[in-house]
Amino acid sequence: MTSKSLISLLLAYGDDELILGHRHSEWTGFAPHIEEDVAFSSIAQDEIGHAANYFMLTARLTDDDADRIALGRDADEYRNAVICERSNGDWAYTLARHWLYDTADDIRLATLERSSNTELAQLATKMRREERYHLIHADMWMKRVAHGPVEGRSRIETGLSSAFAEAIGLFEPIELEAEAVDEGWLPTPSFELKATFIERASNTLDDLGLPTDVRADLDESAEFVASSSGDLIASPDGGDAEPAQPTGLGGRSGEHTGDFDQLWGELTKTYRQHPGATW
């Protein structure tokens, strides 16, 4: 009998890849210059391909169809983190999310390489090799903008203020996570992966001279204040901020934003119009 906790893990990470890949693909034809047009299109294709890996493994384990898993579910059945579904906004926000996501994904894939499910471990090794180039691309852009003109640096700081606050949603516990950890499907629990992510991302931003907008001990009980963009960010000293739940949570249980409704409608439209069709 297939473990429900393993399926939960595959769907959560697969949905992250599918939804962010779709968002990245929206830059095709609109990126700042042709080189980035090609680069972001390629990254989008990779992410969707990695989603297919997760879904095909899920399909084999559940005797289902990978296309139905990807495109035939109701909106509240998707388990992607909220940050993946957010509208692209400007190029600076897209870059900030790109860098944060691929930093997080590298950490997740590193632990999945040790998964007790051999097929998942092998997939993680393969995907991590490919994702390495995404992270190189993101790091290159972060350095370029951080060391570039004042306007670009200011805009990436604004993008980071929005994206960093929601990036912790990538480590929101999946459904049945305790079982997934006990069984070895997910060798390291999400809260430990999150701590690694915060440390790595914060150290890189410090090296670049960019603000982190997040406390080193950020967790579900952290206090948040409104940033200039209107998003909530962690209060640096936990001072007079109103206690609040961090933004970016809920996706792992199917709670999404209005941005997702629009994306889901576009993503699944053809499949819903022609269910079960083959091409």
CB 8 within 8 A of CB 79: yes
Cα 171 to Cα 197: distance, rounded to the nearest angstrom:
9
pLDDT at site 255 = 95
pLDDT in tens, 84-135: 999 998 889 999 999 999 999 999 999 999 999 999 999 999 999 999 999 9
Fold of 4-273: Ferritin (1.20.1260)
What is the rounded distance in angstroms from the CA atom of residue 216 to the CA atom of residue 236?
9
Closest CA to 229 of 173, 158, 167: 158
Question: Per residue in 128-152, pLDDT tens?
Answer: 999 999 999 999 999 999 998 888 8
DSSP 152-184: HHHHHHHHHHHHHHHHGGGGSPPTTHHHHHHHT
User: What does each of the 279 residues of the chain score in pLDDT, given as a tens digit?
Assistant: 579 999 999 999 999 999 999 999 998 887 778 888 798 899 999 999 999 999 999 999 999 999 999 999 999 999 999 999 999 988 899 999 999 999 999 999 999 999 999 999 999 999 999 999 999 999 999 999 999 888 888 999 999 988 988 999 999 999 999 999 999 999 999 999 999 999 999 999 999 998 765 444 444 433 333 333 333 333 333 333 333 345 789 999 999 999 999 999 999 999 988 887 776
Q: Which pLDDT belongs to residue 24?
A: 95
pTM of the model: 0.87
- Cα 34 to Cα 238: distance, rounded to the nearest angstrom: 44
Q: Tell me what pLDDT residue 230 has.
A: 33
Looking at residue 227, what is its pLDDT? 32
Cβ contacts of 80 within 8 Å, gap of 6 or more: 12, 15, 16, 18, 19, 20, 251, 256, 260
Nearest to 130 by CA among 144, 116, 109: 109
